[in-house]
Amino acid sequence: MTLSSSFVGIVVLGLAGVAALPACSSSSSVSGSVPPSLGISCSTTTSVSDAASARSTLAAASAGTCVVLPAGTYAGPFTVPAGVALVAQNGSRATITGGTAQEPAVSLGEGSQLGAIDLVDSGGVGIAVRAANAVLSNLTVTGSKNAAVAVLCRETATPGCGTGTVTITDVLLSKSTLGLWVSGAHVAWKGGGSTSHAGTALASAAGVVAQDGAKLDLENVTIEKNEGVGVLVDGAKTTASIKNATVNENGERGIWAQKVNGTIDAPALRIEGSQVTKNKIVGVGAMESHGIIIVSGRIADTVAAPLVTNLESTEQIGDGLGLFAGSGDLKVEDALFETNARAAGVIDGSDRGIIIVSGKVGAGGSGLKFVVQNSKTTEIQIAEGDRSVPPKPLGISAPALSLPPVL
């Protein structure tokens, strides 16, 4: 598999005509060799001793086989075939190095699994998954020169890929050029985080990117201290659910939606019980988007940054909530807004349907709560005590964020 040199991490791609991982029997040829906490069972387990034997064993393995790595360091790349698992031996961890700009350190096929592995310093994508179904459990990925994990599923290549799920559990991605990148696939990620990514390319340094009709479910995940955006949700067919997450100290907006297309009853983006704090520019923001629900949680401590605005001036912008460029169908319920640098929120150019009820709204550092300006609708339900009218319109800077190259 050849990947763009500008993208490194984990990629999951769909393969037509290959069944999802079959249910495996509880018996194993090597008793107790697979960590039970991974939730991976095998009809057969085979231990290997070095990288060369791991590659040859994987190449010959049939679905239901677990290939077991004893503690140690193994030079990739490795390709895990459909229905096969690559795991560290019970009670230990294995480290994988290697990978290039053209070839990920680990490539996963349909229904394959990866567990109890530490992947470090990949020259490109760390883990690439091209599949509708796969399992990543108890992993760390550090220092990838592109995305740490990339998941790609194309309906044209894999009919029904939207009905499968790539499951990520207790996985930590850190210090790569990009964290998790998802295109077209359904990814359900629970536990772990995506932190401290950095890079100089336009689309780099993000914690999580979902695009091209992806379905993203994040639960109890920490997205923090990335140089770029924390979570980016892009495109009319892309949806995301973010529950009990922490999105903290990201340098280019916390959670940002662009051109998503939902309704209040069927939201494209739902944020529930999450802490969105100390992000620069805006905590939660959207442009040209509809169907955003925020339930409970806290959006606070947004940090101001100097930006050139639509008023052709440079202003310090740091708002808890930002809704721009014809966005609407937004509902906020029982959420706390406090100590954001400029305003609790700015709604600029909305075309319909803004509802902000209950919760608690504290003024920003400029004394502003929710500011509504340049809007084309009267369908705005915000308590008078939660609204502010500044002496002149606020400057706005809300360009669409660039996307990573599609693999």
Q: Where are the chain's structural domains?
A: 11-386
Q: Select from 73, 21, 18, 70 the least CA-distant residue to 46.
A: 70
CB–CB of 390/344 below 8 Å? no
Residue 154's pLDDT is what? 80
Residue 32's pLDDT is what? 52
What type of residue is 130? Answer: R
Q: Is the dihedral of CA 8, 12, 14, 19 positive or negative?
A: positive
Provide Rg for the chain, Cα atoms: 22
As a dihedral over the C-alpha atoms of residue 255, residue 257, residue 261, residue 265, rounded to 10 degrees, the angle is 20
CA distance 219 to 331: 20
CB–CB of 180/146 below 8 Å? no
Residue 37's pLDDT is what? 72
CA distance 390 to 376: 18
As a dihedral over the C-alpha atoms of residue 110, residue 211, residue 407, residue 246, rounded to 10 degrees, the angle is -80
Residue 6's pLDDT is what? 39
Q: What is the DSSP letter of 6?
A: T
Three-state SS letters, 327-354: CEEEEEECCEEECCCCEEEEEECCCEEE
Q: Select from 107, 86, 112 the least CA-distant residue to 8.
A: 107
Give the residue carrying structure tokens 């990978």.
Answer: 99
What type of residue is 116? Answer: A
Contacts of 356 (CB under 8 A, 6+ apart): 330, 331, 332, 345, 370, 381, 382, 383, 386
Residue 161's pLDDT is what? 75
User: What CATH number should be reported for the domain whose range is 11-386?
Assistant: 2.160.20.10
pLDDT tens-digit profile, the chain (407 residues): 334 433 334 444 443 333 333 333 333 334 357 777 777 878 999 999 999 999 999 999 999 999 999 999 999 999 999 999 999 999 899 999 999 999 999 999 999 999 999 999 999 999 999 999 999 999 999 999 999 999 999 876 666 677 899 999 999 999 999 999 999 999 999 999 999 999 877 778 999 999 999 999 999 999 999 999 999 999 999 999 999 999 999 999 999 999 999 999 999 999 999 999 999 999 999 999 999 999 999 999 999 999 999 998 999 999 999 999 999 999 999 999 999 999 999 999 988 889 998 899 999 889 999 999 998 777 899 999 999 999 999 999 999 999 988 56
Q: Is the dihedral of CA 21, 41, 117, 100 positive or negative?
A: negative
**How many Cα atoms are found within 13 Å in the side-chain-facing hemisphere of 166?**
36
Q: What is the DSSP letter of 395?
A: P
Q: What is the DSSP letter of 25?
A: P
Q: What is the DSSP letter of 64?
A: T
Compute φ and ψ for 162, nearest 5 degrees.
-70, -15
CA distance 185 to 233: 13
